[in-house]
Structures are given as structure tokens and as C-alpha cells.
Amino acid sequence: MPKAARRIGASFAFFVLTTLSALSQTSDWKIDPAHSTAQFTVRHYGISNVSGMFTKVTGNVTLNEKDITQSQVDASIDVNSVDTHVENRDKDLKSPHFFEVEKYPAIDFKAKRIVKSGDKLQVIGDLTMHGTTREVTLDGEGPTPEVVDQGGNARRGFSATTTINRKDFNLTYNNMLKSGEAVVGDTVKIQIDVELVKKK
């Protein structure tokens, strides 16, 4: 066999082995909506905190077991699932005053890169909400060690927090008190808790 052909063959074999090795280090997971939430907290009248949550979180995660920074995250929140325990407030949040759910039914997040420093994990990605996309950084904890549930499904957990300004996403509606205080604050604190189920 000519040397050139042998080199091509060796290069192809190396590529195949490298690809198979990389694939063997990754595992695919889906977010379990029944055990996942995205919670948010904003100031009310500038004097207290009001919290709510989105109860329908879905998505997929590809974990690189050897190098977590090479993992992939793609998640979506159903805005119609907003729940603040006050029906009229939920309706207002879904209305054109805020999320406009008929026009923008989902909040999406797609990771662009992951940074690990010691026990700290940051997931940097694009957050799309109300028709606007901005880069945000999630400060994460996890993923937790794998456990197996009663049905034989492998599960892991992951939590993350971030803070955004709602005006960055064109959520600008507000009322003002005579004292000048805004009814709804601009800063939104977000807490995400998801449970992952390994795809079979």
C-alpha cells in the first residue's frame, strides 16, 4: 500500500477513535418538568419582595463527564405556567402589560460556554424573553451525583441563580406611587432548580 494511502487510512482511523472516545464521555439528559421550577423575586413598592414561579420547564442537556465545560444546555419555560398564587396578578403578567404570552409564549435559554473554577460553575448563554435576546450568566451548583429512581431511571439535579433587569427585555410597564416609588421593581432575582433524567 502506498505511503500516502497509509497516512490517509491512519488519519481516518485516528479521527474515528477520537470521535468515539468523545461520544463515550458524554451522556444525554432531559429536564423533568414535574420536578423543575424557575422562581423569580421582585420588589413591590420598594418595601417588600414578591415571588412567583414558572412550573413548566423543559429542555435537554448533554453532559461531558470528563470535562463539564464542554457540556451543552438548551432549556425552555412555558410562560403560561406563571404562578404567583394571585390569579389577577398572574393574568396581568400574561397580558400585554408584561409577558404578552399570546405573542411570546416561551422563555428560552441556550448555553454558549461553561466556565468552571474550583467548585464554582458558570453557565453563560443567550436568554430570549419577550422577543429580546440578551447574554446572561447563571451561577450554578451541580450537577449532583447520579441516583437511580424506583423505575430504574438515572437522575441528577442542578441549581442556578442569576439577576436581570427586566427593562433589558423590553418589560417596561409600570405604575408609580405619588411618592415616586415604582409599584414593580426593575431588578429580578431568578432561582432555577431542575431535575435531569438520563435518556435511554
19 occurs within a structural domain: no
Query: Per the structure, how many domains does the chain have?
Result: 1
Residue 18 has pLDDT above 60, yes or no: no
44 occurs within a structural domain: yes
8 occurs within a structural domain: no
pLDDT at 70: 96
pLDDT at 2: 61
Distance CA 122, CA 114 (A): 6
Predicted TM-score (pTM) of this structure: 0.84
Distance CA 85, CA 18 (A): 52
pLDDT tens sequence across 33-82: 999 999 999 999 999 999 999 999 999 999 998 999 999 999 999 999 99
59 occurs within a structural domain: yes
10 occurs within a structural domain: no
Q: Identify the domain containing residue 166 by its residue range.
A: 27-198
CATH classification of the domain holding 130: 2.40.128.110
Cell of 38: 424557575
1 occurs within a structural domain: no
Q: How far is CA 154 from CA 21, 148, 195, 199, in A?
A: 22, 4, 10, 8
Number of residues written out for the chain: 200
What percent of the chain stands above pLDDT 70?
88
